């Protein structure tokens, strides 16, 4: 009972914080006198958001951005897994590959984006490549770490209990590496997702990121706020889907 009252207090405090932020928003756009070009009023923003949801054009942008993200994630995860797996097969390969991949993970690939635009054009291909590039290293590094950290005691146990080399691979090493590999999937997805949207903002002709950059640039502030909220919901839903799909079943 005391526990529930405590929980209720936490919720109330959290609601108060959110209400205070909304209140501040209402104040500065109303009596505060801040220009609606700088900060859009909440009412206008909600109205724009409502129209956005019901406009077919929005959903074609969702399809563009969504398919770019899916393609980028698939490429990052599959190539990262293959390289990570092959790079962890022997101690020698691990010594060669792991520092290189770890180094690659620290590269801010944003500096290469103009080059990608030059090579692949302004449409989907450059967005997919950029997203995949950003996700790849996290996936490859986690896959290597996953296979490296397989408990050798489990491998020895399987060997003692008559496992063939093939069975050791499939029944022991793969499931033992899985939790870390799956955390690689989650990180790679999060990175690919955000970089695809960013890439659309920097240079493209369609997609949610493009719309956000365009509306902000043309001072359609309340519409750009609506896009921000829409993109946050879109990203949130994708995160929930990925989290569900990649959680270890128990």
Partner 1 sequence: MSQAVIVDKLSVHYTIEQQPEPIVALDEIDLSVKKGELVTIIGPSGCGKSTLLHTIGGLISPTSGSIHIDGTPLLGPDPKRATFVFQEYTLLPWKNLVENVALGLKFAGIDRASRTARAMEQLKLMRLEQYAHMHPDQVSGGMQQRVAVARALAMEPQLILMDEPFGALDEQTRMMIGAEISRIFTLENRSALFVTHSLDEAVFLADRVILLTTRPGRIKEEIIVDEPRPRTRKFLETRRFVDIRSHLFASLDVPAGDREGADT
Footprint of partner 1 on this chain (CB under 8 A)? 153-154, 156-164, 167, 171-172, 175-176, 178, 248, 250
Whichever of 22 and 245 has its CB closer to partner 1, that residue is 245
Tell me the closest approach of the beta carbon of residue 147 to partner 1, in angstroms: 15
Structure tokens at 162: 């008559």
Nearby residues of 27 by Cβ (< 8 Å), 6 or more positions away: none
**Cα–Cα distance between 36 and 41 in angstroms, integer?**
6
Tell me the closest approach of the beta carbon of residue 164 to partner 1, in angstroms. Answer: 7
SS3 content of the chain, % helix, strand, coil (to 5): 85, 0, 15
Nearer to partner 1, 70 or 163 (CB): 163
Q: Which is nearer to partner 1, 95 or 151 (CB)?
A: 151
Q: How far is the CB of 9 from partner 1 (least distance, A)?
A: 33
Minimum distance of partner 1 from residue 171's CB (angstroms): 7
Q: Which is nearer to partner 1, 125 or 168 (CB)?
A: 168
Q: How far is the CB of 142 from partner 1 (least distance, A)?
A: 18
Q: Cα(82)–Cα(228) distance, rounded to whole angstroms?
A: 36
Which of residues 49 and 176 has its CB atom nearest to partner 1 in the complex? 176
Query: CA–CA separation, 216 vs 77, rounded Å?
Result: 33
Q: Identify which of residues 71 and 150 has a Cβ nearer to partner 1 in the complex.
A: 150
What's the min distance (Å) between Cβ of 146 and partner 1? 13
Q: What residues have CB less than 8 Å from 155, skipping those under 6 apart?
A: 168, 172, 173
Between the CA of residue 4 and those of 7, 16, 74, 88, 140, what are the distances in Å? 5, 18, 43, 49, 44
- Name which of 102 and 155 has its Cβ closer to partner 1: 155
Shortest distance, position 248 Cβ to partner 1, whole Å: 8
What secondary structure does DSSP assign to 130-162, as a single string? Answer: HHHHHHHHHHHHHHHHHHHTS-HHHHHHHHHTT
* Other CB atoms within 10 A of residue 245 CB: 11
């Amino acid at each position: 009972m005391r526990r529930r009252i405590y929980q209720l207090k936490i919720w109330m405090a959290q609601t108060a914080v959110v209400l205070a932020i909304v209140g501040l928003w209402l104040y500065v756009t109303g009596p505060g006198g801040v220009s609606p070009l700088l900060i859009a009023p909440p009412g206008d923003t909600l109205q724009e958001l409502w129209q956005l949801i019901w406009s077919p054009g929005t959903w074609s942008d969702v399809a563009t951005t969504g398919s770019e993200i899916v393609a980028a994630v698939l490429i990052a995860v599959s190539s990262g897994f293959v390289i990570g797996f092959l790079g962890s097969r022997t101690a020698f390969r691990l010594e060669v590959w792991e520092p290189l991949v770890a180094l690659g993970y620290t590269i801010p690939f944003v500096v290469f984006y103009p080059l990608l635009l030059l090579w692949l054009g302004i449409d989907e291909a450059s967005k997919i490549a950029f997203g995949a590039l950003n996700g790849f290293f996290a996936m490859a590094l986690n896959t290597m770490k996953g296979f490296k950290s397989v408990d050798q005691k489990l491998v020895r146990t399987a060997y003692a209990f008559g496992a063939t080399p093939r069975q050791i691979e499939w029944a022991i090493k793969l499931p033992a590496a899985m939790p870390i590999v799956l955390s690689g999937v989650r990180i790679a997805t999060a990175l690919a997702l955000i970089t695809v949207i960013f890439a659309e903002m920097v240079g493209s002709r369609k997609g949610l990121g493009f719309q956000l950059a365009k509306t902000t640039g043309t001072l359609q502030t309340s519409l750009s706020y609506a896009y921000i909220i829409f993109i946050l919901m879109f990203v949130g839903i994708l995160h929930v889907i990925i989290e569900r799909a990649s959680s270890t079943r128990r």
